[in-house]
Amino acid sequence: MTRGHPISVDHRVLPVAIAPVRDEPTHRAERVTEWVLGETILVEAVEGHWLQGTGPDGYAGWTPAAPFDRSAVDARDWAAAARLRSLGTALADGELGRLPWGARVCPGGRAGAVELPDGSVATVSSPDRIVAAPAPGTPVLAADLVRLAKEWVGVPYGWGGRTELGVDCSGLVQALFGILGVALPRDSQQQREVGPDLALPIPGGPVSEAGDLLFFAPGGEAITHVALALGGWRILHAASSNGRVQEDDLSEDGPLRQLLIDSIVARTRPLDA
């Protein structure tokens, strides 16, 4: 996607809680994803008040440029120093108000405080909701993944969302694995390529293990949905038909069970990638 006037390669750090990302530089365009505070964005072009960039997951789009003016850090230094991640928590002071799930921050120099990309230091309301990013190669337990996943039950469905303020199916999966140090791409079709292929769950046959991903292609066409397996026939997913994140048991009778079972086309295990 090439529009606007190319500029020199430039990385900037997002200093606001969430930036909506659209497929065209207009508020009427489709919201395709969102970027979260502290993420480093590769800026590729500017058109009027809009900035075209690519996020850490390689997903590109347009967002208003003005919020980036508040960033007061060098992108390279920030990427190396921002080793803390938010599990979603309010801030007790400052203008930001809240750190969404996945926000990247630095230690603030005092207990319970974090440094933000605008150079300010704020006090976290729930310090236990700030965790260190896992070191590369740190083993990930499926039990930890499931425990965190259950925190999302009830979060509203939001197309293009990646946080607890609203999330879509692949955004949920990306956010859960990402907080544990497993980087997944943005779309369900891309996520399907991560990890080994496993036998499809079938009634009376193989079932999923906790931490597996199930991919769905209604009508046998392109993959349009992904769910996290909780073990057996239980899944957790964000579906527009549910309007929220919820658990479903595919062993229970009902139209949802048959619809989902009939449309499963792949099962993978990203933790074994």
Q: Say which CATH number the domain at 105 has.
A: 2.30.30
Neighbours of 163 (CB within 10 A): 25
Look up the pTM and report it: 0.93
Q: Are residues 149 and 117 in the same domain?
A: no
254 assigned to some structural domain: yes
> What's the pLDDT score for residue 261?
83
pLDDT band, very low/low/confident/very high, at 168 (cuts 50, 70, 90): very high
What are 80-136's pLDDT values in tens digits?
A: 999 999 999 999 998 899 999 999 999 999 999 999 999 999 999 999 999 999 988
Question: Strands 104-107 and 84-86: what pairing?
Answer: antiparallel
CB 125 within 8 A of CB 45: no
Picking from 52, 70, 88, the residue at the C-terminal end of a domain is 70
Q: Which percentage of the chain shows pLDDT scores above 70?
A: 96
Based on the domain organization, do 124 and 194 belong to the same domain? no
Rounded to whole angstroms, how far apart are CA atoms 271 and 177?
A: 9
Averaged pLDDT for residues 219-236: 93
pLDDT at res. 129: 97
Full residue range of the structural domain in which residue 93 is found: 75-132
- Look at residue 27 and tell me if it is in a domain: yes
Asked whether residue 59 falls in the same domain as residue 83, the answer is no
In three-state secondary structure terms, 217 is coil
To the nearest whole percent, how much of the chain has pLDDT over 90?
Answer: 84
Burial of 151 (0-12, 13-18, 19+ CB in 10 A): middle
Q: Are residues 66 and 79 in the same domain?
A: no
For the chain, the domain total comes to 3
Does some domain include residue 137?
no
Residues 124 and 29 both lie in one domain: no
Domain C-terminal end among 70, 97, 114 = 70
Residue 214: CATH number of its domain:
3.90.1720.10
62/31 Cα distance (integer angstroms): 9
Assess whether 188 and 223 both reside in one domain: yes
The pLDDT value given to residue 57: 96
Instruction: Give the pLDDT score at 234.
Output: 94
Residues 178 and 102 placed together within one structural domain of the fold: no
